[in-house]
Amino acid sequence: MSAAQRLPEFPVDGCAVVIGGSGGIGRAVAVQLAERGCCVAFSYFKGHARAEETASLVRTAGQEVHIGRVDLREEAEVLRFVDEAAEHFGGVHTTVYAAGPYIPMRFISQQSASAFREVMEHDAFGCFHLAQAALPHLRKSKGSFTALVTPAIRRYAVRDILSAAPKAAIEAVVKGLAAEEGRFGVRANAVGVGVITDGLYHALVENGDFDQRFLDASREVMALKRLGTAEEVAEAVAFLASSRARWITGQTLMVDGGYAL
């Protein structure tokens, strides 16, 4: 197929919905989708100032943006946000789940049941709520659903149960969407995010969850021997969401420097 015959990466009509657009990876995803011609609707939970910064970057990329505060534990809030985005932009062709709460890294024996329950409600249920809210719109547009997960679902990282458990559930949701919704032209994939120097990284370092020993050990087990960036993760998300990946569904692409080999 020649360059002139190639499909556009994303439809002209409608928008991309990014859940968690105030975070490091969510921001990078929103901006890269905007640079590829997508209007963007993104949510945030606590970081209003960071959300406004993301919105400014999307506008600088030449695209219209719609933002909203959403508690992912509340099904009705997620549904309202997605429906408002669809109404505002005339549809939804791309949905990206890029949210994730702060994860205190502790051994399973030291984690409380309440902490486990809270992260599952925010993360696993949040992604499930998004999937159900987005599906009617994605069926109409034959669109894509992409979720961020973790390499720890392939190679478990000690003290990382609050990340691995909900992300394993999210990966199962993604595979289920791919198997069940392909008949409607909907694709679903996941991106496994390795240790990167953006987003929650700084809080994890400040609180001692990422100490120098952990960071050195992480680099050592990575084939590429370095930490990644939010932009590198966003590149993979944008590819899987685009028409370039139109025959890819039900897959998890590890963007982790070779950690999960």
Contacts of 146 (CB under 8 A, 6+ apart): 94, 95, 96, 97, 188, 189, 190, 191, 237, 240, 241
Instruction: Determine, yes or no, domain membership for 249.
Output: yes
The mean per-residue pLDDT over the stretch 191-205 comes to 74
**Which residues, in sequence order, are bridge partners of residue 253?**
191
Instruction: Determine, yes or no, domain membership for 260.
Output: no
Contacts of 37 (CB under 8 A, 6+ apart): 8, 9, 10, 12, 63
| Residue 8 pLDDT | 93
Helix and strand numbers, DSSP H then E, in the chain? 9, 7
Q: In 3D, which of 133, 163, 131 has the Cα closest to residue 146? A: 131
Q: What is the CATH number of the domain that holds 234?
A: 3.40.50.720
Which structure tokens are listed for 206?
Answer: 């400040």
Q: Is the pLDDT of residue 197 over 90?
A: no
Q: Is the pLDDT of residue 2 over 90?
A: no
Instruction: Determine, yes or no, domain membership for 135.
Output: yes
| Residue 114 pLDDT | 95
The mean per-residue pLDDT over the stretch 79-98 comes to 98
- Note the pTM of the prediction, 2 decimals: 0.93
Instruction: Determine, yes or no, domain membership for 3.
Output: no
65 with 90: CB under 8 angstroms? no
Rounded to the nearest angstrom, the gap between the alpha carbon of residue 76 and the centroid of all alpha carbons in its chain is 20
| Residue 206 pLDDT | 60
Q: Is the pLDDT of residue 45 over 90?
A: yes
Per cent of the chain over pLDDT 70 is 93
Instruction: Determine, yes or no, domain membership for 6.
Output: no
Task: Indicate the residue type of 87.
Answer: E
Per cent of the chain over pLDDT 90 is 81
Q: Is the pLDDT of residue 4 over 60?
A: no
Rounded to the nearest angstrom, the gap between the alpha carbon of residue 45 and the centroid of all alpha carbons in its chain is 14
Cα radius of gyration rounded to whole Å, the chain: 18
Contacts of 160 (CB under 8 A, 6+ apart): 103, 105, 150, 152
Distance separating alpha carbons of residues 259 and 222, to the nearest angstrom = 4
Domain coverage including residue 195:
12-255
Instruction: Determine, yes or no, domain membership for 7.
Output: no
Contacts of 194 (CB under 8 A, 6+ apart): 151, 222, 227, 228, 254, 255, 256, 257, 259, 260
Strand-strand pairing, 187-193 and 252-255: parallel
Q: How many structural domains is the chain composed of?
A: 1
Instruction: Determine, yes or no, domain membership for 5.
Output: no
Tens-place pLDDT, residues 115-161: 999 999 999 999 999 999 999 999 999 999 999 999 999 999 888 99
226 with 256: CB under 8 angstroms? no
Instruction: Determine, yes or no, domain membership for 90.
Output: yes
Mean pLDDT lowest for which of 49-58, 105-114, 195-204?
Answer: 195-204
Distance separating alpha carbons of residues 207 and 149, to the nearest angstrom = 22
Whole-Å CA distances, 190 to 79, 102, 140, 174 = 21, 20, 21, 7
Strand-strand pairing, 15-19 and 144-149: unpaired
